[in-house]
Structure 1
Amino acid sequence: MIAKQLSIFLENKSGRLTEVTRVLAEGGINLSALCIAETADFGILRGVVSEPEKAYQLLKENHFAVNVNDVVGISCPNIPGALAKVLQYLSDEGVFIEYMYSFANGDHANVVIRPSDMENCLRVLKERRVELLAANDLYKL
């Protein structure tokens, strides 16, 4: 249920994203899901990878600033309103979403969520019978 996600800080300069993907590729690590947020000076690549601990070590060895964070993965129907329903469950229980990203996979959407309160988030999702993705399944997407 709880998966490890990498947050990699990147300078806003040409080729930096290429370097990250090259390091991961050379290490045999697959990047399953990602999003990039940027400011004027730097960007943050948040990603789920096939082997988070190995990826962390490789990126550190290659002088990248990287952190590992806990996230939760869910799967919901890929139809209008399905995500809104899940987010309403969380909102009603006071769970703040720090960030999230998603990707469609046929008739389902896979969503990666970083909640402010992981324990409460998981409780709500389980009580409402939201389909949780096992960490290993998320790493293989």
Structure 2
Amino acid sequence: MLIQQLTIFLENQSGRLAEVTRVLANAGINIRALSIADTAEYGILRLIVNDPVSAAGILKKEGFSVGIADVIGITIDDTPGSLARVLAILEENNISIEYMYAFTGSSRAGMANVVIKVEDLRKAVDILTGAGVNVMTPDEVHQL
């Protein structure tokens, strides 16, 4: 139940993010979620797309530095405390979060989607699933 995320390193130059999105759009790749963090010299763009393998190949062909990483996607109630409950489950099981971000597009009203990266992904999936947290499949993410 792991989903694949693209990690793209971008120089901090005007138009680089636009170029990534243009390349993907021209290839018919749909962006499902996006997170970007920057430093003085470069940015780290994280994308969930409908076809990560094709997208990575297309971007590499265009000269971008791209990697694919496994992450966990979860769907939680869009109510106060829902995320805190999930994070408490991970904390109680000594699972540290490397990064996370939320995205819209849930097919179910009143729900929120969150991408989580932890060191031991399979352990986290087992723990979350056992606790009743909805861990998304790649198909669920790609169909949003």
- How does the TM-score come out when normalised to structure 1? 0.97
1:36 aligns with 2:36: yes
The residue aligned with 1:122 is 125
SS for the counterpart of 2:22 is helix
Distance 2:133 2:116 in 1: 13
Structure 2 counterpart of 1:136: 139
Report the AA paired with residue 13 of structure 2: K
**C-alpha deviation, 1:136, in angstroms:** 1.3
Q: Which shifted more, 131-140 or 52-61? A: 131-140
| Structure 1 gap segments, 5+ residues each | none
Whichever residue aligns with residue 133 of structure 1, its letter is M
Q: Which of 102, 105, 111 is the matching residue for 1:108?
A: 111
Counterpart in 2 of 1:94?
94
Deviations 1:93-134 (A, max 9, x none): 011111110024441110011111112101110110101111
Q: Tell me if structure 1 keeps the 8 A contact 2:9–2:66.
A: yes
Which deviates more from structure 2 when the two are superposed, residues 46-55 or residues 116-125? 116-125
CA shift, 1:137, in A, is: 1.2
One-letter amino acid matched to 1:5: Q
Aligned to 1:58: 58
Paired with 2:82 and 2:11, the residues of 1 have a C-alpha distance of 36
Identity of aligned residues (%): 46
Unaligned runs of 5+ in 2: none
Q: How many pairs are equivalent?
A: 141
Matches of 1:17 and 1:140 in 2, distance apart? Answer: 24
Distance 2:29 2:36 in 1: 18
CA separation in 1, counterparts of 2:80 and 2:87? 13
How far, CA to CA, are the matches of 1:76 and 1:9 in structure 2? 30
| Paired residue secondary structure (1:101) | strand
1:140 CA displacement: 2.5
